[in-house]
Chains A and B, each alone.
Chain A
Amino acid sequence: MSGMAISGRPTGLGSAALALYAAYLVTPMALILVGSVGGVWSNTLLPVGLTGRWFETLVANPTFQKAFITSLWVCASTVVVCILIGAPLAHAVAMAKSPGLAMFGRILYLTPVAAPAVVLGFGYMLAFSTDALPFLGAGWLTVAAHVVVCLPYFLQTLVADLKLQGVEALEQAAESLGAPFHRRFLDIVLPGLVHSIASASILVAALSIGEFQLTNLIAGFLHRTYPIVLLQAFYGATGFACAATVVLLALALLAAIAGSLVARGATAGRGGVA
């Protein structure tokens, strides 16, 4: 109750906390935005002058171009693999009758907490840098690693939606009408998951685009993603670093807006019951 009145309006303390949080969230982003179009920024609170040259330099930079494209295809591949693996897996977990499968689902959900990205990264370095498995630096390994990181979030969204829909009863109804498993999955389960797959895919895309810890450890020189090369930008001009960060920020914002729109669409699509 602290910070919120019964009516739902924030109290004075709540308003102050909210303002502080917003300031802490918005200020760095605002400074990056300002810095990306600022001329010279050295030992002053704000940059001096206005310029678009940092973005011009960024667009002309082949390393950043390649990293951007790599990030896009890694992200797209991660989303596709998550959908292909995640949809049937979410269905299996949601319908799990055996305690073993239910436990598997719970463990999978906890993966991001139990095994942080940096831990996974070290594991991959050990596993895939041997002569037997010399795959460290391969693009597909980066995709696989992103899938491991993103799949729990994808699954959480889908399993929650499946349970909300009461998919077990729907499947029983379809089965009683004569539908075999593949027809139930394709005709009943998947169409009901369209909104949550879209929503979860956007979440996965946002996570994959911004993933740094794990990728930094396993991506080779040929398949560096945008966040990896972004780190280099901070060793150069501040304006350039800010412009490079703005691109990543824009992608994240786009994903957030798209996710919000999809979620609203899903709510409307179910008659307001979400």
Chain B
Amino acid sequence: MTVSLDRVSFTYSSGGAGLEDISLDIREGELLAVIGPSGCGKSTILKLIAGFLIPQSGRITIGGEDMTQVPPRKRDLGIVFQNYALFPHMTLAANVGYALKLRQVPAAEAGERVREALGMVGLGHLADRLPRSLSGGQQQRVALARALVFRPRALLLDEPLSALDATLRGEMRDEIARLQRLHGIATLHITHDQEEALSMAHRVAVMRDGRILQVDTPERLYARPVSRAVAAFVGQANLLDGVVIDPLNVRTPIGNLACGAHAFPRGMAVTVLIRPEAIRPVESAAGPNRFAGSITRDRFLGALRRFDFTLANGVRLTLETDRHVAPPGAIELPPAAVQVIATGQEGAGRSAETKNVNPAVPA
């Protein structure tokens, strides 16, 4: 079933950041991830859909049915909480079967469904154990089984992997994605981990200050961010202020860059985005979009290597290479890799505040 938010706004009585005029669809069978910096309102979206908060305006529908004022227990949504929230005094079987007990499912059928659900997450042999005897990853699996066993209308995941270590997180990403596709259920996944969102989701919504900046496929979100803020938040980015000279050139603090600026009028202020992996080390600075400079920082990251490259005029760019070879003294920004983004209000002058941004700044 599709879950929809239609022009939903919410303000906390304490004055905390809420949501402003949010419209969003989570389609049948889709896993939609919501990412954004802390306090951007992503968890508020989940609480509103779950019914733990009621919006001041707008409508929330599930399968076309208006749920805006319906209490959480009548929404039929499976929720996996950040801390799992397993009932500590109940066995795994009792935890998973609780929703079925509330729905008065006959004992034999309930028992079968519980066995099936625990088996689905590979914990059938631990049905009689208490949650405290399980590892974090196992508790997470139980929480998933509990959220799915009563065949909910949609699944809500509230930062479900944040308490796990890196290795387990990778495994659980695949597990959640597998179960979500197996059940074909509309799923909202709240996370602050963009790698998690990009690797698991069919679509990703980027939020900031209670607003959705962009909803798109992971590939498009990375390759075609609609604003400076999105470009800054998703992945590593070199961002430069620029002015359109003509359809093929933009003036930037590092010089004129050849690129495709057909969509923008001459003289318009724009943001230029160059992803670090698109920058190529070259032997000579002779030629368009080539610049001389030197390495000012070198970070070995295992599969790749990230360098800070400071140009002669002091502007610093970040580049990445999987060849583990430092640029000999010059770099090239291939015109096809230079993206021009309209400098919108939400991104202008503020992207440097964003956590993952690598703005190209004077060194």
Which of A135-143, A179-187, A243-251 sits within the interface? Answer: A179-187
| A residues 6-63 in Cβ contact with B at 8 Å | none
Docked-complex contact A165 and B85, CB < 8 angstroms: no
CA distance in complex: A188, B88 (Å): 9
CA distance in complex: A270, B73 (Å): 28
CA distance in complex: A153, B50 (Å): 36
Shortest A138–chain B CB gap in Å is 40
Number of A-B residue pairs having CB atoms within 8 Å of each other in the complex: 61
CA distance in complex: A176, B149 (Å): 13
Shortest B307–chain A CB gap in Å is 44
Docked-complex contact B87 and A178, CB < 8 angstroms: no
**From B83, B88, B132, residue with most partner A Cβ within 10 Å:** B88
Which of B97-105, B169-177, B181-189, B217-225 sits within the interface? Answer: B97-105
Given A166-B83, A172-B52, A173-B79, residue A180 in contact with residue B73 (CB < 8 A)? yes
Contact partner of A191 (CB less than 8 A), chosen from B73, B85, B89, is: B89
Docked-complex contact B73 and A178, CB < 8 angstroms: yes
Shortest A198–chain B CB gap in Å is 14
Q: Which B residues are CB-close (under 8 A) to A178?
A: 73-74, 76, 99, 102-103, 150
CA distance in complex: A271, B89 (Å): 12
CA distance in complex: A170, B50 (Å): 14
Binary contact track B327-345/A, C-beta < 8 Å → 1, others 0: 0000000000000000000
Count of interface residues, chain B, beta-carbon cutoff 8 Å: 26
**From A166, A172, A173, residue with most partner B Cβ within 10 Å:** A173
Given A169-B85, A270-B132, residue A176 in contact with residue B77 (CB < 8 A)? yes
Q: Which A residues are CB-close (under 8 A) to B72?
A: 172, 175-176
CA distance in complex: A191, B146 (Å): 19
Shortest A262–chain B CB gap in Å is 16
Docked-complex contact B85 and A170, CB < 8 angstroms: yes
Q: Does A263 contact B (CB under 8 A)?
A: no
Residues on A facing B (Cβ under 8 Å): 165-166, 169-170, 172-180, 183, 187-188, 191-192, 194, 270-271
